DNA sequence: TGTATGAATCGACAGATGTCGATGAAAGGA
DNA sequence: TCCTTTCATCGACATCTGTCGATTCATACA
């Protein structure tokens, strides 16, 4: 992640009250919107869900192309969006790249939306 | 909402486990993505936040144009997106339309993202 | 009836996004 | 050294999206 990138969602949570607690300012609205945009795609939601459900909680791109019904380059693109947004991490072993959920990342964005 | 519209988020919650509990199927991924897309815009996040913070928990379009820095037709567009997605309701009194948060709508989408 | 006000709709447009096929890069094995 | 496999990147394309100005609609009031 370059320095110009949006804050990953966990930093956002560390600083902010839930959306309805008080009016959100432009900068934080921008950050939260980016985090939500990364999530707001059916292929990426299924991808996240598949990674979470996969053996050992990790999966490679090749595990995902068939069940998603998408070409390798497209899956690679979606995975990159989720890594950049802070939802996935990658660990490389040989020619394989294994992706895994970042613990707490989904809970962080979730807690920003709650009203209670 | 026409019959062809996506399920509002509350129905989604009534039927589904959180994203990481088990692999989500295509149809539900599509629904959840639509609900998230409605939220994934800085202007709409600020709009929701302003409505929640406004006196009596409701606001009209004319209350929002100035603080958002957007033209009336644009605000009207964003409001419609949020109403269609089930986050806002409208009550019309004279020429004024007052928008208000749907109780529990944000909590519903939030709970679908939680992993715990 | 006519006018004023708040809001929805329409048409246009630039920019972002999801998808694909083709190519390139890195690592391992014959 | 060469081939294979896994993945990233690139270029192209159609579609979607956010924004605006102009118009239309509905309601209230003079």
Report the pLDDT value the prediction gives residue B1, as an integer from 0 to 100: 37
The winner for highest mean pLDDT among A109-113, B8-12, B14-18 is: A109-113
First to last CA, chain B: 32
Q: Are A97 and A83 in contact (CB under 8 A)?
A: no
What is the spatial distance between Cα B45 and Cα A19, in angstroms, rounded to a whole number?
8
Q: B110 and A107 in contact by Cβ < 8 A?
A: no
Instruction: Give the chain A residue nearest B114 (alpha carbons).
Output: A107
What are the extents of the domains in chain A?
Answer: 9-113
Report the pLDDT value the prediction gives residue B13, as an integer from 0 to 100: 66
**pLDDT tens, B38-94?**
999 999 999 999 999 999 999 999 999 999 999 999 999 999 999 999 999 999 999
Grouping H, G, I as helix, E, B as strand and the rest as coil, residue B46 is helix
User: Domain A9-113 belongs to what topology?
Assistant: Arc Repressor Mutant, subunit A (1.10.10)
Q: B54 CA to C3 C1', in Å?
A: 31
Pick from A28, A24, A20: which is nearest to B52 by CA? A20
Collect all residues of chain A within an 8 Å Cβ-Cβ radius of residue B30: 42
Residue ranges of alpha helices (H) inside A1-116 are 9-15, 26-39, 42-53, 61-68, 72-84, 105-113
Report the pLDDT value the prediction gives residue A4, as an integer from 0 to 100: 38
Name residue B100's beta-bridge partners.
Answer: B58, B89
In the stretch 47-76 of chain A, residues with CB closer than 8 A to chain B read 48-50, 52-53
**pLDDT tens, A41-87?**
999 999 999 999 999 999 999 999 999 999 999 999 999 999 999 99
């Amino acid at each position: 992640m370059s320095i110009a990138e949006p804050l990953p969602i966990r930093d956002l949570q560390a600083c902010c009250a839930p959306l309805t607690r008080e009016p959100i300012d432009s900068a934080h609205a921008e950050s939260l919107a980016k985090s939500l945009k990364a999530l707001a795609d059916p292929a990426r939601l299924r991808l996240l869900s598949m990674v979470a459900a996969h053996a050992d909680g990790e999966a490679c791109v090749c595990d995902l192309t068939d069940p998603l019904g998408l070409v390798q380059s497209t899956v690679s693109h979606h995975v990159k969006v989720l890594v950049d947004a802070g939802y996935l991490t990658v660990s490389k072993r040989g020619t394989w790249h294994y992706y895994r959920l970042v613990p707490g990342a989904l809970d962080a964005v979730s807690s920003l939306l709650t009203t209670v």
